[in-house]
Structure 1
Amino acid sequence: MTKLCSWRWVLCLVIAVLGAACTPSEKKSIRIAIGTQDATINCATGGLLVRELDLLKRYLPREGPYEDVRYDIVWRDFSSGPPLTAEMVAGGLDFGMMADFPAVLNGIASEQAGKRNIYIATLSGSVAGAGNGIVVPIDSPVHSVADLKGKRVSVPFGSAAHGMLLRALSDIGLDPERDVTLVSQQPAEAEAALRENTVDAHAGFVPFAELFPFRGAARKIYDGATTQIPTSHGVLVRAAYAKEHPEVVVGLLRAIIEADRIFERDPERYSELIEQVTGVDAEVAYMFHGPLGIQTRDVALKPQFLRGLRVAADTLVLLKRTSASLDVDRFVDDRYIRQACAASGVSYEERLSRHAKVPIAQRDARTGAAIAEPKRAAQIWVNGEGKVRSYASAASALAARHELRAQGKRVRAMFVHDRHTGLKLLAEQAWYAEAPDGDLDAFLSKDYAETWARERKGDVRQLDDVRVHPALEQQAAAP
């Protein structure tokens, strides 16, 4: 009986061992924790679109050491860069999407913590510095940065808008510490503060310097394009993570390249998606991402954008916002985006040298005339239409606006371009220099409009005060 029990015990042990050998081992898990800023729509192709269209899974490695891997994909949305940086430095995130000033602070913070984060790709940017801006309450007497002396100005501390504001004040000789009162305020608070006149101005990052005016909460007086200092949003990764999982990093960048392609093919549709997810109006998203947009989507780490990072690093030290410096050449690492471009059939060198914005339509939607001067072009988004209409001039778009209203159609938005910088503007917010023959040129700055009009013996008006010139009313409609 004892021998029988012993054999039974041995038999059970053998079966258990064989069973364990036949049971598939548990898959290795790799975390991909991504910090995004959904409402900061210049990060859309790095976060929101990749997530909502489920693009990342298409490009993650599945072969070799990754054959039996289980990916734990985590998305976290932040309202600005600093809290994202804190989480990334703490190890709670592997990737982060943010603008140049907070990215520099991210790099400094990681080094001070004995770690290292690296900047590996661009998402969107402007070589002229467009995107960040300063807005004031609708009825404010403030029309320039100089008028802010002695005023209360809110801004999200540590953001790209904070850096732009410090630079704008210093450029005209105002001391940010003594000549203005700066208060830290996130965009959600700022919109209410502007409506209630509890702040004299707000410096906002993308897209709030356009969003607040579009919603009727503010009036824009300054855009970062005035500085002509490049600005951009980009992708950061923990250096240790990139070293351990380089193929995963390349996979995410390939998904971003695909998101960029998708958006360029149909900016109206995906502007609507941004609105559905974030509440940022589609018209404002289109201002940034559509043809001749305020900024351009661009994965390449262009020399101009690296210059913007260096300026950000220098500005933060100069204005005593950090006591540490950052070696930008070491901070930026282009090997992963180069690999991603090669795998996606994209010429990285061509992207580096590309500077033109996505072009506007070739013909005026009303007259059929060629659109020859982008800085004079205009667009109208008609309610119920899937595509934005383009026009050769603000005067032609104004005539179309009158015709559409006469037909009972609602205009969702009308866009014009600043004659001085080419910056896309909300037509209702622009100042117009009207020539005696009815020709119109649009400007962000009232001062520029007045100078232009004075030189041409014209008048300065705003949109609702401009009348369609008789010559335009007689033009034949486009076939």
Structure 2
Amino acid sequence: MRLLKPFILLLSVALLGGCRPADEAAPTAARADGIDLSRVVLRVGAPNKIGNRPYLEAAGLLDDVPYRIEWSEFSATPALIDALRSGNVDVGGNGGQTGVIFEAANGRSGNIKVVAAGRSTSGVPSGAAILVRKDSPYHSLADLRGARLSVMKGTGTLYLLGLALKDIDMSLQDVQLLNLGNDAALASLVAGHIDAWGIWDPQATVLEARPDLRSLGWIGRKDASYAIQLASSAALNDPGKRAAIADFLGRLAHATVWVGEHPESWASAASRLTRIDEPAMLKIARRTRFEYGLTAGQRAELSAAFEQEAGFWQGTGAMGRIDVGALFDHQFNDVMLAGSRSGRLAASAQP
């Protein structure tokens, strides 16, 4: 069931730098602080087919948006980052942090900022799955020593794989690591040209149900898995875009919490958008739960998680030292805290 009331616009929180009490509503309007939002086009990207849109649709928060949204989908986070850097996308995400860490390592941290990080509230691994053929001799990660394993470079899946291998006294050097796109990886796995494939949702959940494939398990750690939202510096420096981003992130924070209590609504919206069976999407919804808006302590944990990943890649020789702090722009944190609060209120009020 969709929300019956339109979202309360939280622009004043971001634009004025304050935070309203949870029960005080900011007026919904097409203008905010002199900005005519009806003239703003916000280009929103996603690193996969599920992205942010199903959350907002499921919670009914796209009905009264005072600006126009142009949606784009990409094959993975690196492609989304390319679009942000080139100015073709203003804001977007829902993937991990690996891509933006490598962006900083390449000296481009000034072009893109981390504007939101959804912390996991799920009690199960949900980062990615390692798939093999049904008749494969591999039955655990430890069996993959020397195996041909494809994981796309620059994705969070590669980092989570590195952590999972480290936990069993292995490393990425213990496998034959390949970098294939999703379509090529699937075809190669089925044909026997590779032995295993690390892939994220929704593909992972759909493909592990195939009769010719099976999963070795899910990889991911709560302290290493965030749903990252990115924005281009150009969009952040534009008053109209910045106001729209503030509203968008507030809506997303609200919707994400609401969906956590109404996974069936998300599964229905995501199934319609992706043309993937609703039962598969419901599995994803129940396994993957995040919440936006961080306390000071949680922001410190976020920074530590980025430092840990950067240190991991430095240890492999993939990058030198980077200034992790330069990646963050927390100006929208208050609006997301308020959005999460209103999402909890709405979820508790609507069975």
Aligned to 1:103: 100
Distance 1:32 1:55, change over 3 A: same
1:14-93 residue pairs with structure 2 within 5 A?
29-39=39-49, 41=50, 43=51, 46-50=52-56, 55-56=61-62, 58-60=64-66, 71=67, 73-93=69-89
Aligned to 2:268: 272
Verify the 8 A CA contact 2:131 2:215 in the aligned structure 1.
yes
Q: Which amino acid aligns with 1:300?
A: G
Verify: 1:232 aligned to 2:226, yes or no: yes
* SS in structure 2 at match of 1:93: coil
Could you tell me how far apart the structure 1 residues matched to 2:269 and 2:342 are?
A: 29
Could you tell me how far apart the structure 2 residues matched to 1:129 and 1:118 are?
A: 26
Structure 1 residue 124 displacement after superposition: 6.1
Verify: 1:214 aligned to 2:209, yes or no: yes
* SS in structure 2 at match of 1:346: helix
Aligned to 1:298: 291
Could you tell me how far apart the structure 2 residues matched to 1:262 and 1:173 are?
A: 40
Q: Which amino acid aligns with 1:78?
A: F
1:248-267 residue pairs with structure 2 within 5 A?
248-267=244-263
Could you tell me how far apart the structure 2 residues matched to 1:345 and 1:199 are?
A: 43
Return the match for 1:190 from 172, 185, 189. 185
Could you tell me how far apart the structure 1 residues matched to 2:249 and 2:273 are?
A: 22
Query: Per-residue CA shift, 1:8-29, capped at 9, x if unaligned?
Result: xxxxxxxxxxxxxxxxxx9994
Verify the 8 A CA contact 2:40 2:244 in the aligned structure 1.
no
Distance 1:27 1:313, change over 3 A: closer
Aligned to 2:282: 286
1:120-135 residue pairs with structure 2 within 5 A?
120-123=115-118, 125=120, 129-135=125-131
Structure 1 residue 122 displacement after superposition: 2.9
Query: Per-residue CA shift, 1:422-448, capped at 9, x if unaligned?
Result: xxxxxxxxxxxxxxxxxxxxxxxxxxx
Verify the 8 A CA contact 1:124 1:295 in the aligned structure 2.
no
What is the CA RMSD across the aligned residues, in angstroms? 3.4
Structure 1 residue 95 displacement after superposition: 0.8
Structure 1 residue 107 displacement after superposition: 4.4
TM-score with structure 2 setting the length: 0.74
Distance 1:321 1:278, change over 3 A: farther
Distance 1:280 1:324, change over 3 A: farther
Q: Any gaps of 5 or more consecutive residues in structure 1?
A: 1-25, 61-70, 352-357, 359-479
Verify the 8 A CA contact 1:230 1:307 in the aligned structure 2.
no
Could you tell me how far apart the structure 1 residues matched to 2:236 and 2:217 are?
A: 39
Verify the 8 A CA contact 1:137 1:217 in the aligned structure 2.
yes
Query: Per-residue CA shift, 1:377-431, capped at 9, x if unaligned?
Result: xxxxxxxxxxxxxxxxxxxxxxxxxxxxxxxxxxxxxxxxxxxxxxxxxxxxxxx
Distance 1:326 1:130, change over 3 A: farther
Q: Which amino acid aligns with 1:321?
A: A
Structure 1 residue 78 displacement after superposition: 0.4
Verify the 8 A CA contact 2:189 2:195 in the aligned structure 1.
yes
Aligned to 1:144: 140
Structure 1 residue 145 displacement after superposition: 1.7
Could you tell me how far apart the structure 1 residues matched to 2:159 and 2:41 are?
A: 33
Query: Per-residue CA shift, 1:220-243, capped at 9, x if unaligned?
Result: 223224x56431222111234224
Q: Which amino acid aligns with 2:90?
A: D
Pick the structure with greater CA Rg: 1
Aligned to 1:244: 238
Aligned to 1:314: 311
Could you tell me how far apart the structure 2 residues matched to 1:161 and 1:258 are?
A: 27
Q: Which amino acid aligns with 1:339?
A: V
User: Aligned pair count?
Assistant: 304
Could you tell me how far apart the structure 1 residues matched to 2:304 and 2:280 are?
A: 27
1:335-350 residue pairs with structure 2 within 5 A?
335-342=331-338, 344=339, 346=341
Q: Any gaps of 5 or more consecutive residues in structure 2?
A: 1-35
Could you tell me how far apart the structure 1 residues matched to 2:158 and 2:285 are?
A: 23
Could you tell me how far apart the structure 1 residues matched to 2:251 and 2:175 are?
A: 43
Give the stretch that moved more between structures: 158-167 or 279-288.
Answer: 279-288
Could you tell me how far apart the structure 2 residues matched to 1:27 and 1:206 are?
A: 33
Could you tell me how far apart the structure 2 residues matched to 1:339 and 1:262 are?
A: 16
Distance 1:170 1:262, change over 3 A: closer
Query: Per-residue CA shift, 1:328-363, capped at 9, x if unaligned?
Result: x34233331312443x48279x99xxxxxx9xxxxx
Structure 1 residue 261 displacement after superposition: 4.9
Aligned to 1:160: 156
Verify the 8 A CA contact 1:267 1:289 in the aligned structure 2.
yes
* SS in structure 2 at match of 1:335: coil
Distance 1:317 1:335, change over 3 A: same
Instruction: Determine which structure has greater relative contact order: mean sequence separation of CA pairs < 8 Å that are 6+ residues apart, divided by chain length.
Output: 2
Could you tell me how far apart the structure 2 residues matched to 1:150 and 1:223 are?
A: 20
Structure 1 segments, 4+ long, off by >6 Å, are 51-54
* SS in structure 1 at match of 2:216: strand
* SS in structure 1 at match of 2:160: helix
Query: Per-residue CA shift, 1:285-324, capped at 9, x if unaligned?
Result: 222323xxx2212113445444433322222222233335
* SS in structure 1 at match of 2:332: helix
Query: Per-residue CA shift, 1:149-199, capped at 9, x if unaligned?
Result: 12111111111111122233344343434x321111233333333333221
Aligned to 1:19: none
